[in-house]
Amino acid sequence: MGKYLNVGNAGFAAVRKGIYVDKTGLISYISRTLGTADKLTCVSRPRRFGKSFAAKMLCAYYDRSCDSRELFGQLEISEDPLFETCLNQYDVIYLDITLFISRAADIKDVVRNINDEVAEEMNQVFADTEKGADLAETLIHVVEATGRKLIMIIDEWDALFREARDNGKIQREYISFLRSLFKSSWTDLIFEAVYITGILPMKKYGTQSAMTDFREYTMLAPKKLAEYVGFTESEVQALCGQYDIDFEEVRRWYDGYSFSRVKSIYNPNSVIEAVKSGEFGNYWTQTETYESLQLYIDLDEDGLKQAILQMLGGAWIKIDAATFQNDMTTMKCRDDVLTLLVHLGYLAYDTGSRSVRIPNEEVREEFVRAVTTGKHTELAKLIRSSEHLLEATLNMDGETVAEVIEEAHQAGTAPTFYSNEQALRSVIRVAYLSCIDEFLKIEELPSGHGYADVVYFPKKTSSLPVLLIELKWNRTAEGAISQIKNNDYPQALKDYGGDILLVGINYDAKSKRHTCKIEKYNKKRGSK
């Protein structure tokens, strides 16, 4: 077993001993790229989304220095016709870029260290081959001598970009090194396949990727590899059944990533931690402090504040991801910041609408923490006032409710946008932010003779009443209450055993004032 060449299967063996979800279907995909024009694969995922597990799995499967039949014999890959053909048949070079960074005396030495250390090991193992001037030349001599092409796996390929984010010289040196391996006439002679993982897609220079021959699978477009981004819903349901965990709570905390091929993807690390502990909480974001998110929120690019407010209230925000330069420093507009947050896992992206949102409760907590401790004091105040709003609503204090919503309007919505009932609904989402902790929010609930605008339904563990909210524009709050009763909106809640509060909210565009009326619904008489 070597340091970089043929590292063995111990890493994947350790993964298999824990709670394991079978993702060996990825091997089938990679095996079908071997020796083809599609043999260069770059997969970018957020931290703790299983990138290193996949890299270790591929090493264990292809590495010719070990016997991994027992590790894979009962898994999905064993049914693949190519299972025997490719199992433990290749010399595999595995590089963990974060390891090189941590061992370097100075970060400027990292690229040279990678080149020299890997070349030195290749020369030691294949002592009868001609030595090369650099790693690429060394590898071409090894392949010529053995007659066997190599598989290379690089984990966290972009770590050097992240650690030396402001050092253009180091970045250019690193790109030149990678190009010497993967964008030259020698690439097809040396490699049977290359698989690299990172958080960010390939760095752009102008409109072009640094290494255009790679097939990229990202959080914006995972394509055929979407099911390997995280855990699918069926995989999570199986885990919940096996370990007696509440599936609905797992969904609320860790679901929310959705792609055209797979509609529901869960954060894998957080699901596993919840299963292990039997408790729900913020696991993934504990691996990276909220200051990292706060840094980007505080950039305050044009419209970013309003976008965050709307997303905290549950809204989708349309973005243009094309301008993003695939780095952490070139932020020219709001959409660049939001696109970066997609790649970091803080936002989910919908390809159909080209919109982003906060995916789940775990990430929402992180946003709230970042906002309340950041430089946007007006956002922090708004979030804190949400608790006051909920308290006033439960106390049926319509005057205070109107005042707090007025503050949310002034803090969170530009005047040009606040011009219709949909805009009012956006403000309501933000104003009632604290409801997310105790309620499930339903918009446009079919009920009676129409649709209830917004319904906050208490979670199973809560004894709070249902909040049935009707919104009006240039009408009256009393009229909103009348519409709820006349159209019998509470009909949809007839099986609910607890209390129901009817909340009518109106905005008068001329006076620029909100009004609110709240009544307690009586199932026998309608209301009181």
Q: What is the pLDDT of residues 58-97, one digit of tens each?
A: 999 999 999 999 999 999 999 999 999 999 999 999 999 9
Whether the per-residue pLDDT at 299 is higher than 80: the answer is: no
522 pLDDT band, cuts 50/70/90, is confident
Q: How much is the pLDDT for 22?
A: 97
More confident residue, 355 or 384: 355
Residue 181 per-residue DSSP state: H
Domains observed in the chain: 10-217 (3.40.50), 228-286 (no CATH), 288-358+366-372 (no CATH), 382-520 (3.40.1350)
- Helices (H), ranges, 73-134: 83-86, 97-103, 110-125
Q: How much is the pLDDT for 414?
A: 46
Q: How far apart are CA 442 and CA 447, in angstroms?
A: 12
Amino acid at 295: L
Q: How much is the pLDDT for 127?
A: 87
Distant-in-sequence, close-in-space partners of 331: CB < 8 Å, separation ≥ 6: 296, 299, 301, 337, 340
Task: Decide if 468 contacts 443 (C-beta within 8 A).
Answer: no
Q: How much is the pLDDT for 332?
A: 81
384 pLDDT band, cuts 50/70/90, is confident
493 pLDDT band, cuts 50/70/90, is confident
Q: What is the pLDDT of residues 399-454, one digit of tens each?
A: 999 998 888 777 655 444 555 666 677 778 778 877 777 888 888 888 767 888 89
Q: What is the pLDDT of residues 338-376, one digit of tens each?
A: 999 999 999 999 988 999 999 998 998 888 887 777 666
Q: How far apart are CA 132 and CA 145, in angstroms?
A: 13
Task: Decide if 9 contacts 59 (C-beta within 8 A).
Answer: yes
